[in-house]
């Protein structure tokens, strides 16, 4: 396995058929109230950068889709860019969700010193799964959309609690880390960076191996799992309420709220 851009590896030879992307985030710690107070405001430049990068990612995915149909893998240059884009997007999400207090760097490649990291291993793809990727994405897109919509309902209260206490409670950290990781895995699948379908929303099974970070493995307690269920229920309610208040708008499947990356907010 050859190391390429920070945070991911490009297979030299055929490896395991599936690699579920992983997320590394340090555990919850004390946060500066000033940065919490202006968190979403100071991240605006990053939202603009990600929006610009997403335009290039859109065309890269189109080219990569045709290439993957022919060769069963993404071209290395496209895989490298999409993995770097996913890493940038995920670092921004971790900061937006108050998982980390450090300001994300303006770097497409993974900065060695920044603690939020992802690992993806672009490799062989199933041509049939590539051809039907848009259809296969629908269930995961619905779950990701419901989670995001439900979190948005509670976002102000989560922000206010963190501002007052200068710390994100452990159950909230676990639930939001699980949300960010699932969303990252969904985008990785949609970008054809992995053949592994998004899963393990409610955390990883316990293991005897020492943890590599607070999210590797991601152990979600009962309270964290309950919060994830609350996100899903609130997201469904928000979707139903939005559809009911706009009877003249075209009908959409339940859960399609905000299934795209955050630059479309």
**Tens digits of per-residue pLDDT, 41-100?**
999 999 999 999 999 999 999 999 999 999 999 999 999 999 999 999 999 999 999 999
CB 99 within 8 A of CB 180: yes
pLDDT for residue 235? 95
For residue 2, give the H/E element and its range: strand 2-3
Q: How confident is the model at residue 246 (pLDDT cuts 50, 70, 90)?
A: low
- Considering only residues 258 and 185, tell me which one the structure prediction assigns the higher pLDDT: 185
Q: What is the mean pLDDT of the chain?
A: 88
pLDDT beyond 60 at 188: yes
The number of C-alpha atoms within 13 Å of 11 and in the hemisphere containing its C-beta is 17
pLDDT beyond 90 at 248: no
CB 39 within 8 A of CB 159: yes
- In this predicted model, what pLDDT tens digit does every residue of 201-211 receive, in sequence order? 999 999 888 99
Cα 157 from Cα 33, distance rounded (Å): 15
Cα 147 from Cα 31, distance rounded (Å): 24
DSSP 30: B
Cα 224 from Cα 171, distance rounded (Å): 4
Q: How confident is the model at residue 17 (pLDDT cuts 50, 70, 90)?
A: low
The radius of gyration of the chain from alpha carbons, rounded to an integer in Å, stands at 18
How much of the chain, in percent, has pLDDT values that exceed 70?
A: 86
pLDDT beyond 50 at 11: no
Cα 229 from Cα 179, distance rounded (Å): 11
pLDDT for residue 255? 40
């Amino acid at each position: 396995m050859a190391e390429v851009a920070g945070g991911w590896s490009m297979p030299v030879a055929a490896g395991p058929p599936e690699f579920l992307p992983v997320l590394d985030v340090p555990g919850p710690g004390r946060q500066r109230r000033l940065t919490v107070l202006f968190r979403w405001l100071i991240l605006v430049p990053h939202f603009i950068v990600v929006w610009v990068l997403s335009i290039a990612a859109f065309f890269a995915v189109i080219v990569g889709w045709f290439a993957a149909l022919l060769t069963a893998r993404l071209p290395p240059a496209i895989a490298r860019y999409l993995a770097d884009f996913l890493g940038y997007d995920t670092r921004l999400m971790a900061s937006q969700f108050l998982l980390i207090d450090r300001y994300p760097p303006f770097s497409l490649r993974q900065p060695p010193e920044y603690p939020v990291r992802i690992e993806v291993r672009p490799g062989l793809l199933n041509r049939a799964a590539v051809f039907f990727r848009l259809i296969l994405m629908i269930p995961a897109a619905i779950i990701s959309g419901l989670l995001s919509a439900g979190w948005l309902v509670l976002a102000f209260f989560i922000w206010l609690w963190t501002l007052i206490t200068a710390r994100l409670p452990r159950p909230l950290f676990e639930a939001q880390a699980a949300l960010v990781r699932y969303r990252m895995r969904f985008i990785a699948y949609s970008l054809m960076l992995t053949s592994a379908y998004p899963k393990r929303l409610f955390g990883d099974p316990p293991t005897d191996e020492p943890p590599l970070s607070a999210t590797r493995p991601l152990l979600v307690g009962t309270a964290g799992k309950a919060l994830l269920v609350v996100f899903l229920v609130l997201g469904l309610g928000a979707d139903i309420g939005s559809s009911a208040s706009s009877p003249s708008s075209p009908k959409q499947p339940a859960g399609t709220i905000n299934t795209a990356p955050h630059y479309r907010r």
